[in-house]
Amino acid sequence: MTLANGRPYLAIPGPSVMPEEVLRAMHRGAPNIYEGALPDMVAGLVPDLRAVARTSGHVAIYIANGHGAWEAALANTVAPGARVLVPATGRFGHGWAEIAQGLGIEAEVIDHGKRAPVDVSRLAETLAADRAHTIKAVLATHVDTSTSIRNDIAALRAAIDEAGHPALLMADCIASLACDRFEMDTWGVDVMVAASQKGLMVPPGLGFVFFSDKAAAARAALPRVSRYWDWAPRADPQMFYQYFGGTAPTHHLYGLRAALDMIGAEGMEAIWSRHATLARAVWAACERWGADGPLELNVADPALRSHAVTALRIGAPHGTRLRDWVAREAGVTLGIGLSMAEPGSAEWHGFFRFGHMGHVNAHMILGLLGSVEAGMRALDIPFGRGALDAAAEVVAGGCPAPSVQPAKTASTGRRGASAASLDG
Amino acid sequence: MTLANGRPYLAIPGPSVMPEEVLRAMHRGAPNIYEGALPDMVAGLVPDLRAVARTSGHVAIYIANGHGAWEAALANTVAPGARVLVPATGRFGHGWAEIAQGLGIEAEVIDHGKRAPVDVSRLAETLAADRAHTIKAVLATHVDTSTSIRNDIAALRAAIDEAGHPALLMADCIASLACDRFEMDTWGVDVMVAASQKGLMVPPGLGFVFFSDKAAAARAALPRVSRYWDWAPRADPQMFYQYFGGTAPTHHLYGLRAALDMIGAEGMEAIWSRHATLARAVWAACERWGADGPLELNVADPALRSHAVTALRIGAPHGTRLRDWVAREAGVTLGIGLSMAEPGSAEWHGFFRFGHMGHVNAHMILGLLGSVEAGMRALDIPFGRGALDAAAEVVAGGCPAPSVQPAKTASTGRRGASAASLDG
Amino acid sequence: MTLANGRPYLAIPGPSVMPEEVLRAMHRGAPNIYEGALPDMVAGLVPDLRAVARTSGHVAIYIANGHGAWEAALANTVAPGARVLVPATGRFGHGWAEIAQGLGIEAEVIDHGKRAPVDVSRLAETLAADRAHTIKAVLATHVDTSTSIRNDIAALRAAIDEAGHPALLMADCIASLACDRFEMDTWGVDVMVAASQKGLMVPPGLGFVFFSDKAAAARAALPRVSRYWDWAPRADPQMFYQYFGGTAPTHHLYGLRAALDMIGAEGMEAIWSRHATLARAVWAACERWGADGPLELNVADPALRSHAVTALRIGAPHGTRLRDWVAREAGVTLGIGLSMAEPGSAEWHGFFRFGHMGHVNAHMILGLLGSVEAGMRALDIPFGRGALDAAAEVVAGGCPAPSVQPAKTASTGRRGASAASLDG
Amino acid sequence: MTLANGRPYLAIPGPSVMPEEVLRAMHRGAPNIYEGALPDMVAGLVPDLRAVARTSGHVAIYIANGHGAWEAALANTVAPGARVLVPATGRFGHGWAEIAQGLGIEAEVIDHGKRAPVDVSRLAETLAADRAHTIKAVLATHVDTSTSIRNDIAALRAAIDEAGHPALLMADCIASLACDRFEMDTWGVDVMVAASQKGLMVPPGLGFVFFSDKAAAARAALPRVSRYWDWAPRADPQMFYQYFGGTAPTHHLYGLRAALDMIGAEGMEAIWSRHATLARAVWAACERWGADGPLELNVADPALRSHAVTALRIGAPHGTRLRDWVAREAGVTLGIGLSMAEPGSAEWHGFFRFGHMGHVNAHMILGLLGSVEAGMRALDIPFGRGALDAAAEVVAGGCPAPSVQPAKTASTGRRGASAASLDG
């Protein structure tokens, strides 16, 4: 007997759960890619993507995953032989640096380990020391999916500005976009990369590079950019065929349209609040469990934790046993611990992650936490009590009680005016 | 802000959550209904349906809902003017009696109210008093979806037999089939009705009537049965067109095939155990909540409770407020209380139900319970503490911990060599 | 090698080809059936169904196929023991009479064979002879799917009226609705039955009964109507649960909504014109083929031919060989000949049918005809030349050439003003 | 009125018509990308892809379109500053050269215009003149989608070998793979690029690079390859995450699996024969039309014509008018003429293309041709007679008539005993 045979829940940090609306929109015959409804639709994607990224800048859509978007961002801004600075706070900081090196760029990594955010003063010192301005860009991970550390991107900009350094500020928002608050223009980000399969709720296959005029100027100054990555022809959706550097990602575009409709209907402030509250529910449970057991949040300071992914430590072999148990007995797939220990080593089995990004609601998170507690109990892993009540309490508090009169159209409804005032 | 914007969970007692596999199987162009793959497939449905009903008897598939299956069962066995006995334990007992009356059958209802099972001795007395054997059938609800009472069908058979009465025993398993244990042949049931949209996990649109040779003989003795309901031509799937009384329900048949494949892969005993354990988790939480608050399980005796649906009482207006809250804030739709109070009355708002039938796993149930607790807290409805821990404990206990060596067949997991060696 | 391995085309007379939009709309999780979006949607279906049937009368939606709709129509209007008159022009006339007999109704069939329409004068005589008005209804098939004869329903009404007879006029539009022009109110039809899987382009599973106030009065005069068929509670979609006699056909309703949207966008006149023109293309080809070979249209007079289905005679074993060839080599499934000869007899293999109902365009019909010609050639069945050109000529003429300036948005466009004037 | 409102047919040269099976396989929730069913599935894709390409070599799968695959092929084999030779026979030859230039590679184009194949002797001369072996690769288009010219790849290899030149032979099979016969190993191709959305019948989003050991050695000799394009880590599907350079294209992989299953079931020889026969049907019609009108096949010599796409010339403004008419009136979308004239010029409106690649059968092609003839007639474009008959004749001849006994394996048919005995 297993209790897993119902609707499976994939709680890994991407690809995330796809809304029914997105998958349904993608289930259609091939469209004409030269004229008609599809090309007409694409122009409308751009302003909606900008709204998600909080920018009035440019955006290029690539048929690629996040690694491709990383490469595209660099290919358009930094020449081979030039230098970038990468303050890494997890696997994905290092990953972006490796992409840079693959392009012949000199990537200087400042390694902050696996549990600490970017040390802004150290960054400031390095930039100050670069009097020749050989550093062309600072590559920062907003949220590192492996460690779940969330960095203060605005503070990085301030440091760069204070140092009077002309380096571009690039942010990797692959894990965070449409989950954690991100304000591209306000925070002074020059280039931002994202992908479809996390907060945007679309299957993997689209990468996005948002860029400022300053970044566009850097592109213009390069002698050459590879055709596939060149963002210049992707600036004008009227040139549909050129826009995608060849055949368009037809079905993903329909999915993206559906996802942006859902995002637009909910609103960015509401989306960020939802993720923040659900993340607090996760943390509340984990802190209670950890009060009397081996489970530990990877990031100690709540202000530095992502709202989209939570990295956990529980000691080997508990991590792998727990993941196996909840998959096999409760229908939940947890994320493996990434880069926390050598794959194949004993320690590797002591880590795991929760993804809580995109199409995620209170029911899913409370079911996830309940399943994990059941697993720890079944596996005789010690844990502190009261975790599920604590999570439910966060959920309860996150949503002010309705007025006396029950709403008539509750079943599919969203809250309007009061939510707006809450966000204000 | 709302925390509902993720994958919605429909926790009403039918239609139940449809597996992705079922919906995918139904997404196809129209097939030929006269020959080819579809007619070939239908013959294989019959033995699989029999296995679910635990019978070697006959089955007729109707394009109909459960009400249609009720009507079909009677149309084939009881002539207008004849008499049936209906021991009702909820709305659906009365409903079947009304269907009988609509066919001109005299239906004698023994009303057991809303919280008690069939009183077998009372049934026995009624049958004993019917010396002329005017009663042609006893119509029993295995699980009444409105009250969540589960009746002991084998005991009814024993009573009929003890009375030496020739009445057919008919069971309504619409809410219970493939959820609560049901043994058609062992329990001596002559006619059983079911529908597609509950434990069978297929959208509404198919009704099933299983029947014994004794029931077939009753059909043969009738002067006339309406063509649409006549089960005789539906006995031989080789006669495909006649089999469905005209055009076949093509898309539902593909869905049913997918669902029966899933049911066959899991096995009836495993399915019953899963539902039993999840039901116990629900009850454990409800009992804790009720220990210090208004929430109350409609059925006091666990032995009489369905494993597929749970009726609850919480007092008006809490029921409606709670349903509204979890829909609006957590993404969960609960069932309304059915027939517990007059629709439109103040009392009506004091009832609700959980559906936990079919494609349901630990994650879904624990998320449901967490959402309800969050709702009671948000709405200031008093409740006893420890409910979520109690439910998680049932889930943990329901699945014995794996031996030292984690199983290789984790439902979604593939463990690498290093993981295996670590665990060893 | 086969040339069949592409998108299969099912050219049988129902179920018809389902639009992508309809199937996509049906691919979704189960909805709440008690409140919310689904119940809200259903009220809107009724006016749209009325528009398709050209009536201001009532409509009841059943979970059933066409045979169920037949039974429902009779169950609400004619008591067991009463008498109906059935002028049959094919298998489905006889079928409806059998349904009547199954309900205990005396059905007097006037058999017109397989190639002739209803003889109105004969009907008039029969009615005139019924001075006692024992005939309660005349059951007419608008288009008989087996013979493809289309009857003049308005002429039947005139005959009934001239005879001063009070019998209800019932029309079976299962094969014709939304294909051949049908004007329920103008033509004086009291009861009309239809089903989802032909011109309405939705999978089998819904039956429809449209009825006039006079028919409603006949219902009111009956002592009893079976609950499943009773149309009275189905008159008010506000009573959602009662409306469908139990659980609603949730997924079919979404499909029907999508189909009615498409029908509304095209408009009834345009739909009828499309079917008429495509039917003329089919006939043009068949007439050419038949000029020098065994193929023959079952209905000689074009005015009596359906626009939705075409029955053909080609002599045994050519019919079956041709059907097999086009399925195996060209990807087209033709309809079997129905009731033209005894199944199992040698003659049975001499008949086949084309379905051209619902979601059907010029490309599909011209491909169908080309495939059939290829098959006759491959099988050495003689045929007259020029058939495909003749069909293309009908298609060309059906659509006046656009003005000099090519439309810019052609790919998805429909024609507006000029179509309207054409229809006028 | 329009005759277009049925199932639309997209007859452009890619994206091609997607099989229902492929789209259905892609309609599913996100899977785990680290372990489980999806990673298990990918290893099986490689041998099946090899079988399609007729190679025992390597294959790398990219999230990219064909332009990306072009870039990947070059990034792994030719260093910036090195030289490649590009014998162009249409837009896509020039396009690949531009991609090379974007990578800093010197691309020497031998322009063969728009209606001629590669001149092998001219290629041989150029290679012979390159005594220093500065040419690192010959980039040849197997089928150029814009002109529909098909080049003799084996002859190019022979020329290179005869010249004793070490250049790699690279072939672009984006338009031809799984349509026109291609034998990678037998023909001596070192690198072959393809994409998902043509003969492979999967939505755009996957690019493929097949490569020989010789090409792998060229990769090894390069100082650096960009991480996204580096094919080395993509050689071992066991390393799943690395295999796709980050997140895998989850949904496309399911679609690809379904498509490869269909391809495997049909067999490469049968697929090539199907495309060859359908292409001959297209040509037969076009030649007849052209015998007495302006329509002309772009490629005069049948031996040089693609079996997947056909470029046509009809004179402005007929091309655009015809495309508009068949889209608006018959439900068929034709391909625009690509690169035959300046976009925006009057001449541009004189060209169009038929796509007939992948999931295409006799019904679709005959419907396409019938629709085009209807359009020419409606628009008063002159055309020769007998074209549709000629096409049907090719279709008829393409499939030998069954023996006296109709085959039992009619693709969708099940023949009953009586039918078999009749035909015997």
Q: What is the pLDDT of residue D336?
A: 96
> What is d(CA C119, CA C115) in angstroms, rounded to the nearest whole number?
12
Q: How near does any CA of chain B get to the CA of C7, in Å?
A: 10
Q: Which residues of B touch C33 (CB under 8 A)?
A: 12, 15
Q: Which residues of C touch A27 (CB under 8 A)?
A: 24, 27
**Is the pLDDT at A36 greater than 90, yes or no?**
no
Q: Which residues of B touch D27 (CB under 8 A)?
A: 20, 24, 27
Binding-face residues of D in 39-58 toward B, CB within 8 A: 39-40
Give me the residue from D67, D247, D249 closest to A14, CB to CB.
Answer: D247
Strand partners, C355: C309
Q: Which chains touch B (3 or more CB pairs under 8 A)?
A: A, C, D
DSSP secondary structure letters along C276-345: HHHHHHHHHHHHHHHHTSS-EES---GGGB-SSEEEEE--TTHHHHHHHHHHHHHSEEEEEP-SSS-TTS
Band (B241; pLDDT cuts 50, 70, 90): low
Tell me the count of A-C CB pairs closer than 8 A: 25
Q: What is the pLDDT of residue C187?
A: 98
Q: Which residues of A touch C39 (CB under 8 A)?
A: none
- The reply to whether A247 and A321 lie within a common domain is no
Q: Which residues of A touch C255 (CB under 8 A)?
A: none
Give me the residue from C18, C75, C205 closest to B63, CB to CB.
Answer: C205
- Bridge-based pairing of strands C332-336 and C351-355 is antiparallel
> What is d(CA A151, CA A172) in angstroms, rounded to the nearest whole number?
10
Q: How near does any CA of chain B get to the CA of D33, in Å?
A: 11
B14 touching D (Cβ < 8 Å): no
Pairwise CB contact (< 8 Å): C12 & B29: no
> What is d(CA A399, CA B4) in angstroms, rounded to the nearest whole number?
10
- What's the domain range around D166? 25-265
> What is d(CA A168, CA A153) in angstroms, rounded to the nearest whole number?
13
Nearest CA in chain B to A329: B399
Q: What is the pLDDT of residues C307-356, one digit of tens each?
A: 999 999 999 999 999 999 999 999 999 999 999 999 999 999 999 999 99
Q: How near does any CA of chain D get to the CA of A291, in Å?
A: 30
The contacts of residue A263 (CB under 8 Å, 6+ apart) are A48, A52, A178, A200, A271
D22 touching C (Cβ < 8 Å): no
Pairwise CB contact (< 8 Å): C64 & B228: yes
Give me the residue from B20, B389, B402 closest to A385, CB to CB.
Answer: B389
* C-alpha of A270 from chain center: 17
Residue range A14-26: mean pLDDT, rounded: 97
The contacts of residue C10 (CB under 8 Å, 6+ apart) are B29, B30, B31, B32, C16, C17, C333, C355
How many percent of chain D have pLDDT more than 70?
92
Q: What is the pLDDT of residue B421?
A: 30
- Bridge-based pairing of strands B58-63 and B9-11 is unpaired
Q: Which residues of C touch A37 (CB under 8 A)?
A: 411-412
| pTM of the predicted structure, to 2 decimals | 0.94
Q: What is the pLDDT of residue B235?
A: 74
Burial of residue C380 (CB within 10 Å: 0-12, 13-18, 19+) is exposed
Q: What is the pLDDT of residue B103?
A: 98
| Contact call for residues B84 and B139 (beta carbons, < 8 A) | yes
- The reply to whether C178 and C313 lie within a common domain is no
* C-alpha of B8 from chain center: 21
Q: What are phi and psi of A11, to 5 degrees?
A: -105, 35
Q: What is the pLDDT of residues B71-94, one digit of tens each?
A: 999 999 999 999 999 999 999 999
Asked if the structure places residue C248 within a domain, the reply is yes
> What is d(CA D248, CA A196) in angstroms, rounded to the nearest whole number?
12
Binding-face residues of B in 236-255 toward C, CB within 8 A: 244-252
Q: Please say which residue of C241, C265, C289 terminates a domain.
A: C265
Residue with tokens 């923040």: A276
**Is the pLDDT at A409 greater than 50, yes or no?**
no
Band (B234; pLDDT cuts 50, 70, 90): confident
R_g (Cα) of chain B, nearest Å: 23
Q: How near does any CA of chain A get to the CA of C28, in Å?
A: 7
- The reply to whether A241 and A309 lie within a common domain is no
Pick the closest to residue D156 from D141, D174, D134 (CA basis).
D141
Q: Which H or E element spans position B251? A: helix B250-266
Residue range A312-329: mean pLDDT, rounded: 98
Query: Can you tell me whether residue B157 is helix, strand or coil?
Result: helix
Which of A405-409, B398-402, C395-399, D412-416 tops mean pLDDT? C395-399
Give me the residue from C8, C225, C244 closest to B102, CB to CB.
Answer: C225
Q: What is the pLDDT of residues C18-52, one digit of tens each?
A: 999 999 999 999 999 888 889 889 889 999 999 99
D18 touching C (Cβ < 8 Å): no
Return the residue in C21, C275, C361 with the most chain D beta carbons within 10 A, the one to mutate for interface testing.
Answer: C361
**Is the pLDDT at D402 greater than 50, yes or no?**
no
B201 touching C (Cβ < 8 Å): no
Burial of residue A303 (CB within 10 Å: 0-12, 13-18, 19+) is exposed
| Contact call for residues C207 and C72 (beta carbons, < 8 A) | yes
Structure tokens of C36?
């919310």
Lowest mean pLDDT among A411-420, B298-307, D228-237: A411-420
R_g (Cα) of chain C, nearest Å: 22
Query: Can you tell me whether residue B100 is helix, strand or coil?
Result: helix
Lowest mean pLDDT among A94-103, C202-211, C291-300, D243-252: D243-252
> What is d(CA D167, CA D160) in angstroms, rounded to the nearest whole number?
7
Pick the closest to residue B352 from B388, B376, B386 (CA basis).
B376
| Cβ neighbours of C130 (radius 10 Å) | 16
**Is the pLDDT at B7 greater than 90, yes or no?**
yes
Q: What is the pLDDT of residues C61-112, one digit of tens each?
A: 999 999 999 999 999 999 999 999 999 999 999 999 999 999 999 999 999 9
Q: What is the pLDDT of residue D42?
A: 87
CATH number at residue B330: 3.90.1150.10
Give me the residue from D14, D63, D227 closest to A102, CB to CB.
Answer: D227
Q: What is the pLDDT of residue A242?
A: 73
Residue range D186-211: mean pLDDT, rounded: 98
C6 touching B (Cβ < 8 Å): no
Q: How near does any CA of chain B get to the CA of D312, in Å?
A: 33
Cα torsion through A241, A243, A248, A252, rounded to 10: -150
- The reply to whether A231 and A131 lie within a common domain is yes
What is the residue type of A368?
L
Asked if the structure places residue D367 within a domain, the reply is yes
| Cβ neighbours of A188 (radius 10 Å) | 17
Pairwise CB contact (< 8 Å): B28 & D20: yes
Pick the closest to residue B164 from B195, B194, B135, B185 (CA basis).
B135
The contacts of residue D47 (CB under 8 Å, 6+ apart) are none
- The reply to whether B258 and B306 lie within a common domain is no
- The reply to whether D238 and D288 lie within a common domain is no
A1 touching C (Cβ < 8 Å): no
Number of H helices, E strands in chain C: 15, 12
- The reply to whether C244 and C322 lie within a common domain is no
Q: Please say which residue of D223, D238, D265 terminates a domain.
A: D265
Structure tokens of C268?
């009834």
Q: What is the pLDDT of residues D357-368, one digit of tens each?
A: 999 999 999 999
Pick the closest to residue C125 from C168, C87, C73 (CA basis).
C87
Q: What is the pLDDT of residue C15?
A: 97
Binding-face residues of D in 64-83 toward A, CB within 8 A: 64-68, 71, 75
| Cβ neighbours of C111 (radius 10 Å) | 14
Q: What is the pLDDT of residue B423?
A: 29
Pairwise CB contact (< 8 Å): B32 & D416: no
Strand partners, A83: A106, A135
Residue A18 gets which letter from DSSP? Answer: P
> What is d(CA C151, CA C148) in angstroms, rounded to the nearest whole number?
10
Q: How near does any CA of chain A get to the CA of B311, in Å?
A: 19
**Is the pLDDT at D201 greater than 80, yes or no?**
yes
With the C-alpha atoms ordered A28, A29, A33, A37, is the resulting torsion angle positive or negative?
negative
Pick the closest to residue D75 from D238, D245, D200 (CA basis).
D245
Q: What is the pLDDT of residue B402?
A: 42
Q: Which chains touch C (3 or more CB pairs under 8 A)?
A: A, B, D
> What is d(CA A135, CA A125) in angstroms, rounded to the nearest whole number?
13
Number of structural domains chain A divides into: 2
B261 touching A (Cβ < 8 Å): no
**Is the pLDDT at D24 greater than 60, yes or no?**
yes
**Is the pLDDT at A320 greater than 90, yes or no?**
yes
Strand partners, B143: B150
Q: Which H or E element spans position A210? A: strand A206-211
Q: Which residues of C touch B333 (CB under 8 A)?
A: 32, 36
Asked if the structure places residue C407 within a domain, the reply is no
Residue with tokens 């379109």: D65
Sheet holding B83-88, edge to edge: B58-63, B206-211, B191-195, B168-172, B135-141, B83-88, B106-111
Structure tokens of D163?
């010249």
Return the residue in B366, B376, B415 with the most chain A beta carbons within 10 A, the one to mutate for interface testing.
Answer: B366
Q: Please say which residue of D243, D265, D287 terminates a domain.
A: D265
C324 touching D (Cβ < 8 Å): yes
Asked if the structure places residue C316 within a domain, the reply is yes
Pairwise CB contact (< 8 Å): A250 & D17: no
| Contact call for residues C423 and C305 (beta carbons, < 8 A) | no
C402 touching D (Cβ < 8 Å): yes
CATH number at residue C34: 3.40.640.10
Q: What is the pLDDT of residue C39?
A: 87
| Contact call for residues D205 and D63 (beta carbons, < 8 A) | yes
- The reply to whether B162 and B93 lie within a common domain is yes
Q: Which residues of A touch B316 (CB under 8 A)?
A: none
What is the residue type of A311?
A
Sheet holding C332-336, edge to edge: C9-11, C332-336, C351-355, C309-313, C296-297
Asked if the structure places residue A352 within a domain, the reply is yes
D397 touching C (Cβ < 8 Å): yes
Asked if the structure places residue B408 within a domain, the reply is no
Residue range B154-159: mean pLDDT, rounded: 98
Q: What is the pLDDT of residue D240?
A: 67
Q: Which H or E element spans position D378? A: helix D362-378
How many percent of chain C have pLDDT more than 70?
92
Q: Is the peptide bond before A223 cis (omega within 30 degrees of 0)?
A: no
Pairwise CB contact (< 8 Å): C247 & B32: no
Residue range A260-271: mean pLDDT, rounded: 98
Q: How near does any CA of chain D get to the CA of C244, in Å?
A: 30
Q: How near does any CA of chain A get to the CA of D103, in Å?
A: 5
Q: What is the pLDDT of residues D54-92, one digit of tens each?
A: 999 999 999 999 999 999 999 999 999 999 999 999 999
| Contact call for residues B192 and B180 (beta carbons, < 8 A) | no
- The reply to whether B71 and B129 lie within a common domain is yes
Asked if the structure places residue B91 within a domain, the reply is yes
Asked if the structure places residue D176 within a domain, the reply is yes
**Is the pLDDT at A326 greater than 70, yes or no?**
yes
Q: Which residues of B touch D257 (CB under 8 A)?
A: none
Q: How near does any CA of chain C get to the CA of B144, in Å?
A: 14
With the C-alpha atoms ordered A261, A265, A269, A275, is the resulting torsion angle positive or negative?
negative
The contacts of residue A131 (CB under 8 Å, 6+ apart) are none
Mean pLDDT value across chain B: 93
- The reply to whether D89 and D231 lie within a common domain is yes
Q: What is the pLDDT of residue C111?
A: 98
C299 touching D (Cβ < 8 Å): no
Structure tokens of D260?
């490869």
Q: Which residues of D touch C362 (CB under 8 A)?
A: 3-4, 6, 329-331, 367, 370-371, 374
Which long-range CB contacts under 8 A does C122-131 form with residues at least 24 apart? Answer: C122/C87, C123/C85, C123/C87, C123/C156, C123/C159, C123/C160, C124/C159, C124/C162, C124/C163, C126/C85, C127/C85, C127/C159, C127/C160, C127/C163, C127/C165, C127/C167, C128/C163, C128/C165, C130/C165
- The reply to whether A220 and A277 lie within a common domain is no
Q: Give the angle subtended at the CA of A216 by the CAs of A212 and A220, to the nearest 5°.
A: 170
- The reply to whether A205 and A273 lie within a common domain is no
Structure tokens of B39?
């007619």
Q: Which residues of B touch C333 (CB under 8 A)?
A: 32, 36
